[in-house]
Amino acid sequence: MIKIKFLVVGNLKEEYLRKMSDEYLKRLSKFASINIIEFKELELPKDLNEINIQKHLEKEDEPIIKSIKNEDYLVLLDLHGKSVSSEAFADIISGAIKTLRGNLIIAIGGTLGISKALLNRANFRLKISDLTFTHQFCRVIALEQLYRAFKINNHEAYHH
């Protein structure tokens, strides 16, 4: 069975997001073995200047980067990434799985975003929307889109 790792910063604080996450993990279990690994969300710097933000991101993302192997395929959620349709995202997932030597990884940063090192490691940077969502909300959106991708790739119906 396909193994997919979610590397995420912080935990889901709202019960409805945990419920939604559980629901999609259950549905996804038909297609893949999903492992969600939560990394520590660091306290925000008091002074949000560019240097402090970069330091914060480097420190927050360091354990994430360390857990990614050279042969892994990394899909990174990124505000400045590429905006694609669910069908195109399904193609990216199936393409990654076909040529995969390591793990398929989906990573989501914390409140302040993503370090340059993690950005540079990404194989595909996905922009969900021009609108801003909380990173916790992005996690359930990513789970839902991954489920949708498997449904599309398996030619199964799924409502709009």
* Residues within the interface to its own copies (CB under 8 A): 14-17, 19-20, 23, 83-86, 88-89, 111-113, 128-135, 137, 141, 144-145, 148, 159-160
Q: Judged by CB, which is closer to its own copies: 54, or 129?
A: 129
Nearest distance from residue 24's CB to its own copies, in Å? 10
**Residue-wise DSSP of 102-135:** S-EEEEE-BTTB--HHHHHH-SEEE---SS---H
Nearest distance from residue 20's CB to its own copies, in Å? 4
Q: Judged by CB, which is closer to its own copies: 67, or 111?
A: 111
Rg of the chain's alpha carbons, rounded to an integer? 15
What is the rounded CA–CA span in Å between residue 1 and residue 31?
Answer: 7
For the chain, count helices (H), then strands (E): 5, 5
Nearest distance from residue 86's CB to its own copies, in Å? 4
Q: Which residues fall within 8 angstroms of residue 2, CB to CB, at 6 or more apart?
A: 31, 32, 33, 97, 104
Nearest distance from residue 85's CB to its own copies, in Å? 5
Q: Judged by CB, which is closer to its own copies: 33, or 134?
A: 134
Q: Judged by CB, which is closer to its own copies: 103, or 145?
A: 145
